[in-house]
Amino acid sequence: MRIADIESHIDHELVSKTQIAELISKVAAQVSRDYEGKDLLLLAVLKGAVNTLAALSQEISIPAQIDFMSLSSYGSGTQSSGTITVRKDLDCSVRGRHILIVEDIIDSGQTLRWLIDELKGRGAASVEVFALLDKVSRHEVQVDVKYPGYVIPDEFVVGFGLDYDEQYRNLDSIAVLKPQEYEHEDQGEQS
């Protein structure tokens, strides 16, 4: 929702609530066609992809299961790193399943690269990706994205599941915070 307190921390909006809904509807329609008759597993990476998964899954018109993984990539507060740790694994086996990874954002691409290889290694029948946002200019590794989202500039964003220091996930659009909000950047991890 729009919260007055959050509003005062925002510098500018990058993707509106309406734009998010439009993209997700379009992707859901495409996914429903592409996976017709297949055993579809929607896999969201906690916590950032939860809002996108919730919105997408409601618009998919074919049967689909949902599961979650929590991964962390250690680095400084707004930087990712290549070292991925599994904090919570899937509840189900992926062997022979058609998996659509739902992600909030592709930054370096390290998280997705690792996850795609991991799922294929576990015997998934297919692994595709929908990422709501993509910082194309920051990619360090190549990732094939079947359902691309909005390309955004190299700015740290919050909202629609994305956080800064665990805050702002409940904002209903994608925004950049005022510079002073990022001033207390600390060593931390991303999820």
CA distance 145 to 106: 10
What angle (nearest 5°) sits at the alpha carbon of residue 109, between those of residues 160 and 70?
55
Residue 6 binds ligand IMP, judged by CB under 6 A: no
Q: Contact with ligand IMP (CB under 6 A): which of 23, 64, 162, 175?
A: 162
Strand runs labelled E in 50-97: 64-76, 84-88
Identity at 31, one-letter amino acid code: V
User: Looking only at residues 116 through 155 of this chain, which bind ligand IMP when binding is defined by CB under 6 A?
Assistant: none
Residues 79, 158, 130, CA angle at the centre, nearest 5°? 80
- Segment 83-142, which members bind Mg ion (CB under 5 A)? 104
The one of ligand IMP, Mg ion, none whose footprint includes residue 109, by CB under 5 to 8 A per kind, is ligand IMP
Q: How far is the CB of 40 from ligand IMP (least distance, A)?
A: 21
The catalytic residues are 107
| CA 22, chain centre distance (Å) | 17
- 161 forms part of the interface with Mg ion (CB under 5 A): no
Distance of alpha carbon 45 from alpha carbon 47, whole angstroms:
6
Instruction: Note whether 73 binds ligand IMP by CB under 6 A.
Output: yes
Residue with the two structure tokens 């998280």 = 111
Is 149 a binding residue for Mg ion by CB under 5 A? The answer is no
Q: Which is nearer to ligand IMP, 170 or 191 (CB)?
A: 191
Residues of the shown chain interacting with ligand IMP in the complex, contacts defined by CB under 6 A:
48, 73, 80, 103-111, 156-157, 162, 190-191
